[in-house]
Amino acid sequence: MGKKTKKHVEKRLPKFWEAMIPLVALVVLLVYGKGVKNYSVEALLIIAAVIAAIIGRRTGHTWEEMEQEIGNKIKSAFGAIMILLAVGMIIGSWILSGCIPMMIYYGVKIINPHMLLTTAFIVCAVISVVTGTSWGSVGTMGVAIMGIAGALGVSLPVAAGAVLSGAYFGDKISPLSDTTNLAPMVSGCTLYEHIKHQMWTIVPPTVICLVAYTILGMSGKVSNAVNAEGVDIMMGQLDTLFNFNILLLLPAVIVLGGSLMRLPTTPIMVVSVAVASVESMIFQHAALGDVLSAMINGFNLDLLHVPGFDMAAIVPEINTLLVRGGLSSMMSTIQLLMVALTFAGMLVASGCTEVLLNKLLLCVKSTGGLIASTLFATAGLAFTVGATYLTIILPGELFRDVYKKRGLAPENLSRSLEDAGTVIMPLVPWSTSGVFMSSTLGVSVMAYLPWAFLCYLCIVFALIYGFTGIGIKRLSPGEMEDQTEAKVDVVQAVPKEA
């Protein structure tokens, strides 16, 4: 009995090779299990978490300690989970009210064939900001723009690059985007602090995109024979399905106003949902049951009641755009988040994270080196596993304490995760994003990759800022004292065996 007690209290940090085992196992599991066998990512993460737990027991840590750390991780994510649930309700209610359909309807109206590439970028950016999804933007306006580009003789790879750049502009900064909510959550900052700090790496690439696409568009041979029949049909059906008026923008104004005033995110989103729900009943003549269904299960066309309109005649693009949202749509994201945080909690409790980060700190001597390490680690994970959420969650958990120890605000980390995680995914041919974008736009990843300027310019500017110090936010002495969670000194924590 005494022997067991001694083993229980004598804890040690893992050796470097022990700390690497869970991460190497995770990469192997994801590459083979997901990439080859298409197994569930959650199941593979659970296996990796078990391996991390074995390392934790080997180094003297108890299950109770590991369980407590998992609880701490999940507790820290509760605010983000609430926002994700609110986002699901917002999307469903905004679509039913006509808010999102109206924005798309008038967004299409501004397309000018002689400025197709520039307009494609702007329209897709606006739609993805409003909807919070690059997939929805590409699957609707992207498809329409590619059809117009083909009719005009515009290079399809270049057009696809403009569409993707605009779509991922919104995916990167929209408060309705799941990745925009995940990045600050795992980094330790608020949603709107994260969005504000991203202006450093999104504004310059956007300006470059606008200039580049304008030059490319003006230099191309543009024909006036535009076949926009498909676009006209979609616009006509949207106009028939919904009753548009300026008041439908009120839910969006509430969210944007709340963000500018820095009011609590979740309550503002709930107020927006309530307003959109009332507008659904007033302007779209939806029943209360339809409103509740849109909030919980997401919007579907059966919720609309338009006398004399044949719902079977609706074009597929409208289904792609509108049939989404609801609390239920967020459950798979939250499920993956919980399992990923379980794995991260096991890494922290077992001491693996501490050893790996201390090793990294000994190698990285500057802020620029740390930013570069984050960017390359995140991009490397993106190309290795091709999973968007893991590409944000795992590097975020691994680098979080390193930024604090260096006196860097968590916004720097959250920005880097989006710069090298979110916007890089459509450039990975074997990722779900790459497969979806190439199949939807009808252009291979390698063909549109050089023209998707925004997707890699964000990394370029992030590196510039890292090594010059421009746009890098540092913690004040008071913030460093409040946020420091390091258990031991960096140098003393490095195990001699490593």
Each residue's pLDDT tens digit, 174-185: 888 888 888 998
Could you write out the three-class secondary structure of the chain?
CHHHHHHHHCCCCCCHHHHHHHHHHHHHHHHHHHCCCCCCHHHHHHHHHHHHHHHHHHCCCCHHHHHHHHHHHHHHCHHHHHHHHHHHHHHHHHHHHCHHHHHHHHHHHCCCHHHHHHHHHHHHHHHHHHHCCHHHHHHHHHHHHHHHHHHHCCCHHHHHHHHHHHHHHHHHHCCCCHHHHHHHHHHCCCHHHHHHHCHHHHHHHHHHHHHHHHHHHHHCCCCCCCCCHHHHHHHHHHHHHCCCCHHHHHHHHHHHHHHHCCCCHHHHHHHHHHHHHHHHHHHCCCCHHHHHHHHHHCCCHHHCCCCCCCHHHCCHHHHHHHCCCCHHHHHHHHHHHHHHHHHHHHHHHHCHHHHHHHHHHHHCCCHHHHHHHHHHHHHHHHHHHCCHHHHHHHHHHHHHHHHHHCCECHHHHHHHHHHHHHCCHHHCCCCHHHHHHHHHHCCCHHHHHHHCHHHHHHHHHHHHHHHHCCCCCECCHHHHHHHCCCCCCHHHHCCCCC
Q: Please tell me the predicted confidence (pLDDT) of residue 174.
A: 87
* Cβ partners under 8 Å of residue 1, min gap 6: none
CA distance 282 to 273: 14
CB atoms within 10 A of CB 181: 26
CA angle, corner 351, sides to 346 and 352, nearest 5? 75
H-type helices in 242-386, by residue range?
A: 250-260, 265-283, 288-297, 316-322, 331-350, 352-363, 367-385
Low-confidence ranges of the chain (pLDDT < 70): 1-9, 110-113, 139-140, 144, 147-148, 150-153, 220-228, 230, 259-260, 262, 361, 384-387, 430, 432, 477-498
- What separation in angstroms does the CA of 14 have from each of 62, 352, 476, 496? 14, 6, 33, 10
Q: Are 459 and 419 in contact (CB under 8 A)?
A: yes
**Between the CA of residue 385 and those of 23, 151, 270, 338, 380, what are the distances in Å?**
12, 37, 35, 18, 9
pTM value is 0.69
Q: Per-residue DSSP letters for 123-136?
A: HHHHHHHHHS-HHH
Angle at 148 between CA 125 and CA 204, to 5 degrees: 30
| Tokens of residue 10, six digits | 């004598």
Q: Is 444 left (phi over 0), alpha (psi -120 to 50) or beta?
A: beta
Other Cβ atoms within 10 Å of 490 Cβ, number:
15
Closest CA to 205 of 388, 462, 469, 487: 462
Q: What pLDDT is recorded for position 479? A: 61
What per-residue confidence (pLDDT) applies to 223?
38
pLDDT for residue 490: 33
3-state secondary structure of 32: helix
Tokens of 343: 């794995």
pLDDT at 380: 78
| Category of 476 on φ-ψ map: left (φ > 0), alpha (ψ -120 to 50) or beta | beta
Mutual angle of helices 288-297 and 78-97, in 10-degree steps: 140
Element of type H or E holding 394: helix 388-405
Which residue is listed with tokens 């001699």?
496
